[in-house]
Amino acid sequence: MALWESPASPDDINERLANSMAGNLGIIFTEVGDDYLKATMPLHHLTKQHMGFMHGGANVVLAETVANIGSILCCEDGQTVVGLDINANHIRPGNSAVTAIAKPIHIGRSTMVWEVKIYDDANKLTCVSRFTGAVIPKPQ
C-alpha cells in the first residue's frame, strides 16, 4: 500500500519543478514507488566541480529535492514541508550521471525524516544523505 496522501506521477513532479533549481540542473523524476521516489541528475557543466567530478553541493540539491517532494506527497491537504536540516556523506567521487533513491525514515505530523542514497551509472554508492523537514501550513 502506497504511503502518499497526494500521489503524483513523475511527469507531474517534473512539470512542477521545470522552472526551479532542480529543473535547471536537469533533475528528472523517473519513478514513484509505494514507499520511495527515484530521480536522476546528469553530470554536466552545472553539476560538476573543477576536477570534473559531481559537485558535492549538486548531490545535496538532488537529495533535498527528492526528499522534499516525497515529504510533500505525504502531507495532508493544506500542508507542505520545508527543509530543517540536511547532511551528506560523499562516499566516492561521481564521474557520471547519478540516480537518487529516497525512502522515509519517519513520517510525522510535524516533522519528516528521509534517507537518500545516490548511485553512479555503475550502480556504486556515491553519497548518502538524510533530510529533515518541518510540516507547515501551505502558504495561501
Q: Which residues are catalytic?
A: 64
- Give the C-alpha separation, 63 to 94, whole Å: 14
- Give the C-alpha separation, 125 to 24, whole Å: 24
- Give the C-alpha separation, 69 to 100, whole Å: 13
Task: Report the 10 Å Cβ neighbour count for 82.
Answer: 11
- Give the C-alpha separation, 85 to 82, whole Å: 9
Looking up cell 514507499 gives: 35
